[in-house]
Amino acid sequence: MVEGSPPVLKPVSTTPAIAPFLLIAGSGFGYCELLLLLADPTQSTSISGKRGGRWSMSTMNGRVCLVTGSNSGIGKAAAVGLAKLGATVVIVSRNRSKGEAALAEIRNKSGNQNVELMVADLSSLQSVRDLARDFATKYRQLHVLVNNAGIFLPKRVATIDGLETTFATNHLGHFLLTMLLLDTLKASAPSRIINVTSEAHRRNKIDFEDLQGEKKYSGYRAYGRSKLANILFTYELARRLEGTGVTANTLHPGVVRTGFGKDLGGFMAVGVRILAPFMMSSGKAAKAEVRLASAPELENVSGKFFKKGKEAKSSAESYNAEAARRLWEVSEELTGKEMQRVAAAA
């Protein structure tokens, strides 16, 4: 066991310094709410290893981890952290050249060569299925699945499957990947599933009448709902996995300086650039993912939301078990063809 410095996560009061910028940058309707959310000092965190309670990260020697969205940002930093603990890490990128650059960097920073790249687009059900098949041909075990990839799209874009891309990437692709890897996770127990959500899930409900944003679309709403879906999925998954030795937890990583929101334009892009110096580094944010993946004291903890390195309450709607059950059923229906093909091929 590697004793680590305690991740004492302290609020950073950023609002006074950035208030004038927020007024200017946040005047874009709809994006304003996201900017204010980003700047909320109760959500900014810093990690100090100097004070506070003890925490530990287990050695990950012999453990196999898969991290989606790990060619950049928090996912890449988490892959470095897991590789440093001795894990075999499979990183997933939708772009081969970005993935290869990240692979070299992760191996170099961690000193661990047991890091491998798999190329997959989480927004395509076929690509997710190919990823699960490629993984299964090379690995018999999976101890940690980190569903980290995420996207924010200001305008509605349809995927190759005709689905709304934010929902398809942030929720459905990860739902399918988890389902396809579940038997391996169970066979490898104790094992862990970590779904990366956001504080942006708050003040949202899943609109089952317009799940694909066909009637009405806003980037902020689509993102918030997809992040609520991450939590509903986690809680339902934890209920269904009880007694299997596989845990499912979700976390808000903090407000982090990454490539996130790179597709934004206008006021929002300006706002994110202005706020960047006040945000946490991806290295610090990734410590929370690595801790959830490795801390021995969390081995039996399941169905929880984490924020600032601690268990926290997610929105009231996220505990709506009926919504979680319905989302699960819709997700099964939407990925059904894929699941049936896998079952037939097995």
Ligand X SMILES: NC(=O)c1ccc[n+]([C@@H]2O[C@H](COP(=O)([O-])OP(=O)(O)OC[C@H]3O[C@@H](n4cnc5c(N)ncnc54)[C@H](OP(=O)(O)O)[C@@H]3O)[C@@H](O)[C@H]2O)c1
Instruction: Indicate whether 302 belongs to the interface with ligand X (CB under 6 A).
Output: no
Amino acid at 229: A
Instruction: Indicate whether 95 belongs to the interface with ligand X (CB under 6 A).
Output: yes
Q: Which is nearer to ligand X, 33 or 299 (CB)?
A: 33
Q: In a 3-state reduction of DSSP, which class is residue 243?
A: coil
Q: Indicate which single residue of 11, 49, 62, 259 sits in contact with ligand X (rule: CB under 6 A).
A: 259
Q: Which residue has the tokens 């990260």?
A: 57
Q: Give the integer Cα–Cα distance in Å for 260 and 263.
A: 8
Q: Indicate which single residue of 79, 151, 185, 298 sits in contact with ligand X (rule: CB under 6 A).
A: 151
Q: In a 3-state reduction of DSSP, which class is residue 286?
A: helix
Q: Which is nearer to ligand X, 168 or 211 (CB)?
A: 168
Q: Structure tokens of 237?
A: 């998954």
C-beta of 1: minimal distance to ligand X in Å? 27
Q: In a 3-state reduction of DSSP, which class is residue 90?
A: strand
Query: What are residue 9's DSSP bridge partners?
Result: 47
325: Cα separation from own chain's centroid: 21
Those residues whose C-beta lies under 8 Å from the C-beta of residue 326, and which sit 6 or more positions away, are 206, 208
Q: Which is nearer to ligand X, 122 or 182 (CB)?
A: 122
- Among residues 178, 177, 181, the alpha carbon closest in space to that of 140 is found at 181
Q: Which is nearer to ligand X, 74 or 188 (CB)?
A: 74
Instruction: Indicate whether 97 belongs to the interface with ligand X (CB under 6 A).
Output: no
The DSSP 8-state label assigned to residue 164 in this structure reads: B
Which of these segments, 12-20, 120-128, 211-219, 330-338, binds ligand X (CB under 6 A)? 120-128
C-beta of 92: minimal distance to ligand X in Å? 6
How many residues touch ligand X under the rule CB under 6 A: the total is 27
Instruction: Indicate whether 150 belongs to the interface with ligand X (CB under 6 A).
Output: yes
Q: Indicate which single residue of 69, 154, 271, 309 sits in contact with ligand X (rule: CB under 6 A).
A: 69
Of 220, 223, 235, 319, which one is the catalytic site residue?
223
Active site residue 319: no
Q: Indicate which single residue of 74, 146, 237, 246 sits in contact with ligand X (rule: CB under 6 A).
A: 74
Instruction: Indicate whether 72 belongs to the interface with ligand X (CB under 6 A).
Output: yes
Q: Which is nearer to ligand X, 8 or 228 (CB)?
A: 228
Q: Indicate which single residue of 45, 212, 249, 258 sits in contact with ligand X (rule: CB under 6 A).
A: 258
Q: Structure tokens of 203?
A: 């003040």
Q: Indicate which single residue of 7, 26, 28, 75 sits in contact with ligand X (rule: CB under 6 A).
A: 75
Count other C-beta atoms under 10 Å from residue 134's C-beta. Answer: 14
Q: How many CA atoms does the CB half-sphere of 217 hold within 13 Å?
A: 16
C-beta of 53: minimal distance to ligand X in Å? 24
148 and 100 Cβ atoms separated by less than 8 Å: no
10 and 48 Cβ atoms separated by less than 8 Å: yes
Q: Give the integer Cα–Cα distance in Å for 310 and 37.
A: 19
Interface positions with ligand X (CB under 6 A):
69, 71-75, 94-95, 98, 121-123, 148-151, 169, 196, 198, 252-253, 255-256, 258-260, 282
The residues assigned a catalytic role are: 223
